[in-house]
Structure 1
């Protein structure tokens, strides 16, 4: 099963859903702003993405600029920031089994499926 961490207001996120639909693939959608990830879920996602927490941050997001930019943060602090402010997470994230990708550009999904 494919899982998509989705923000309905994000154009790229909507494009990822359309891309999967056009390929006739079954997938589950998690609206992570409505259902924020727990610390364990976020750590698991980072493992599947094979990236450091800072690589999952949307650095142009106003919350990041106003609250965290210029600070030296540990991985744990960055994870806590994403838990507190889920909007900081890059999107969309597409997961299949033990691998995940950030679907920017949408064609990155092909590397997963």
Structure 2
């Protein structure tokens, strides 16, 4: 083999390595924006996960509080009980008024006897 042929082969190999390096760098550059976008999406997903956990905690708190809130049936029962108590109080009021009138008559009668 002649030295010129060796130098020509080295030049060709060098050119091929340069082209391969150029292609490799181009592919790496093409892949880099995609990786950045993936990283940004992963960060966004992590943020959404933490927000989702916060919302889940809030919903759990609300649900636990709602267990203690009276239902419409409970409120209806309370309303009926209050209505019944009002009716009983009216009966007691009329009885107290009658007893008051009787007591006044007795007091008036006792005053008339003393006088």
Tell me the TM-score normalized by structure 1. Answer: 0.15
Which structure carries more strand by proportion?
Answer: 1
Which structure carries more helix by proportion?
Answer: 2
The structure showing larger relative contact order (alpha-carbon pairs under 8 Å, at least 6 residues apart) is 1
